[in-house]
Each structure stands twice: as structure tokens, then as C-alpha cells.
Amino acid sequence: MNIHHHPAEDLLFDYAAGSLGESWSLAVATHLALCPECRRSVIELDALGGGLIDAVPPVEPSAGLFDAVMERLDGSFDETGPDTSLHECSVKNPILPEPLRGYLGGDVDQLSWQRLGLGAHQLLITSIEDGASARLLRIPAGRPVPTHTHGGRELTLVLAGAFSDDTGIYGRGDLQEVDENVEHQPHAAPGEDCICLAVTDTPLRFKSRAARIVQPLIGI
């Protein structure tokens, strides 16, 4: 697998710093599961952040802090241990990598897809984060997505198949980042359905009137 499109450096920095929202972090973390190069970059950023923390003068903890922390830990301890059932996979060669597969509770053929029409499907991903939405998209091989622009940022991570637009060709592991300056019509490559994880912070702005009419029904 050759990955040619990676998250921007500022996106990796925000991820390493823990300042990304849940939906954006899910997209970056899933890309990292497929991309050794970006995993190395995040490790280096973590080391840089650790060095900065080490340079900060230590502060004497307040009296009673240790007892307060231990009391909270005692009250929240669960003897049954963590639930790892979401991370178990019965599929021999899953399409969805962790952490996305565990986040959704299964691989692509175990999920409850919503039909969008013309053979396309989506799966909305519940998030506690305000201001962004994440969804899994399944676009039939050889079919286009309606031409659209954006009101903000959009991340699209390819998990199976491929798509192309005016900015390039994107295969498994590639991450596309676009904003309000980009108008495009992604086109799924022939031969295999294109499955993507898409994260947006505003609804898409479709060019065709027909797409705008059905947009409230599909929530994109």
C-alpha cells in the first residue's frame, strides 16, 4: 500500500497535542493506523511536547491532592475490567482498521448502512462533539459524487477502492483535506466500491438543484 496524501503538519500537531475534536481525531487516528510515516511524525511531535513539559519548573502539589485522587479512583473502579468486545473481529481481513472498527462495532459488512440512492450508502457516526459530523460513505465503483463546495474543512480518508478529482487520485490510506476554496466532483474508481470516512464542520454546498432538494433528507 502506497500512501501519497497525508494530513497537514498543523493537523498532526493538533492531534499530538490533544487539541483536535473527536471526529477529526478519529479520522487522523485511522489514517495513522495505515500510515507508518505519519505515525513516526506523531511520535516525534510527542517527544517534542514531552521535552517542553520537562522544561517547565515543577509545582508543589496542594495538601490533600493525593488523597482526593485516590478517593475518586476507588469510587470509579470496576472489577469486571474494560469491555473489549468492540475490538474483537470475526472478519479474516477487515477493511476498517482500528480504532475505527472498534468505534463502530464491526467491519463494513456488519454495519447498518443507510441508502442514499443510485447505489450509494452512508453510515452516520454518533459523536459527542458539537460543530462537526463524521460519516462512512460507500460509493459504487465508477460512480461520481455530485459536484459541491464546502463552508469549512472536510477530511476524507479512503479505506477501500479509490476516488479522483481535480486535486489528484486517492487510494486506501490517503487523506484529502479541502476547504471553502475547493469545488470538486469526486469520482469513484472502477473495479471496487470506494469506502471513505468523511468529516465535515458544515453541510456540503451542492451545485445541482436535485442534490440540494434531497440534502435535508440525507443529512450531508
CA 121 to chain CA mean position, Å: 17
Give the pLDDT confidence score for residue 54 in this predicted structure: 46
pLDDT band at 91 (very low <50, low <70, confident <90, very high): low
Q: What pLDDT score was predicted for residue 83?
A: 40
DSSP conformational letter for 108: G
CATH number for the domain harbouring residue 176: 2.60.120.10
Q: How confident is the prediction for the chain on average, in pLDDT?
A: 83
Say if pTM beats, i.e. exceeds, 0.85.
no
Look at residue 204 and tell me if it is in a domain. Answer: yes
Which pLDDT does position 202 carry in this prediction?
A: 86
What percent of the chain stands above pLDDT 90? 59
Instruction: Please give the Cα distance from 163 to 172 (Å, whole number).
Output: 10
The DSSP element (H or E) to which 175 belongs, if any, is strand 175-178
Distances (CA, A) of 88 to 85, 109, 127: 5, 15, 22
Q: In 118-171, which residue ranges form alpha helices assigned H by DSSP?
A: none
Split at pLDDT 50, 70, 90, the class of 74 is: low
Reported confidence tier of residue 66, pLDDT bands at 50, 70, 90: low
Give the pLDDT of residue 76: 44
Domains held by the chain: number: 1
Helical residues (DSSP H) of the chain, grouped into ranges: 9-17, 22-34, 36-54, 65-76, 100-104, 209-218
Residue 78 maps to a domain: no
* Nearest Cα to Cα of residue 139 among 121, 117, 124, 166: 121
Kind of pairing, strands 175-178 and 120-125? unpaired
Q: Beta 194-200 vs 133-139: how paired, if at all? A: antiparallel
- Is residue 83 one of the residues assigned to a domain? no
Domain region containing 132: 1-56+97-220
**Residue 46: inside a domain:** yes
Which pairs with CB-CB distance under 8 Å and at least 24 residues apart come from 111-118? 111/136, 113/138, 114/218, 116/218, 117/214, 118/143
Task: For residue 135, tell me if it sits in a domain.
Answer: yes
Rounded average pLDDT over 31-58: 78
- Residue 179 binned pLDDT confidence (cut-offs 50, 70, 90): very high
Mean pLDDT of 64-85: 50
Residue 73 maps to a domain:
no
Q: 174 — phi, psi (to 5°)?
A: -75, 140
